[in-house]
Chain A
Amino acid sequence: DTGVSQDPRHKITKRGQNVTFRCDPISEHNRLYWYRQTLGQGPEFLTYFQNEAQLEKSRLLSDRFSAERPKGSFSTLEIQRTEQGDSAMYLCASSPPNLKGYGYTFGSGTRLTVV
């Protein structure tokens, strides 16, 4: 297993367009997380899946954001009607079933620039 993969690495979009990012976690990890990191800040939690169930959503996740994990494997994060404030690095992470404080494995992120 090569770790957590995110696609694309970079995305430039015009304001108002929709974008979708994909995350492929480590295969045996049933937990999947999305975080957002703006320039000069630490990552902020967006949402969390256990298998295909979305169990937690941050208030940062406005109604323009939607995340899915249809078969409990890969996940997608869609942003509709993008705004300049959405420009950030979107990080995906996965962890094994019995977390109990184990470190996550993070992907390299998708850097979104809204122009």
Chain B
Amino acid sequence: AQKVTQAQTEISVVEKEDVTLDCVYETRDTTYYLFWYKQPPSGELVFLIRRNSFDEQNEISGRYSWNFQKSTSSFNFTITASQVVDSAVYFCALTNNNAGNMLTFGGGTRLMVKP
């Protein structure tokens, strides 16, 4: 069975602060894929990043960066110099290499960035 845990249900920061969203996952598969999605108030899930289990290289995209550590089964997401537009619910998700590739989502972290 797969499981994704996002222990932080809600985080509030002031604009320009850095913030890290934690994600811990459980899977018995050796091949799997991890994702982060952003869900703004409009409701649509917006794809942010995909990482496969064989690639532990950290990634940076503008103000976003991701830290994948297999040793601790974590895939954390950092927003540098947060902005009000970053306010949303962020979901970490996991899928294995089975035929269906269904996603298992964490419970989400609501990020509120105050001006």
Contact = CB atoms under 8 A, between A and B. Distances in A.
A103 interface: yes
Nearest to B34: A101
Contacts of A109: 43-44
Interface string A16-42: 000000000000000101010000111
Indicate the size class of the contact surface on chain A: 20 to 34
Contact of B103 (A40, A43, A55): A43
A97 to B, nearest CB: 11
B106 A42 contact: yes
A108 to B, nearest CB: 4
Interface string B80-115: 000000000001010101011111111110000000
Given A42-B107, A42-B108, A106 B100 contact: no
B35 A103 contact: yes
B14 interface: no
A99 B43 contact: no
B108 A106 contact: no
Contacts of B7: none
Interface in A33-92: 33, 35, 40-45, 48, 55-56, 89, 91
Interface of A: 31, 33, 35, 40-45, 48, 55-56, 89, 91, 93, 95, 99-109, 111
17 contacts: A40-B108, A41-B107, A41-B108, A42-B93, A42-B106, A42-B107, A43-B91, A43-B103, A43-B105, A48-B102, A55-B99, A95-B101, A101-B101, A106-B44, A107-B44, A108-B42, A109-B43
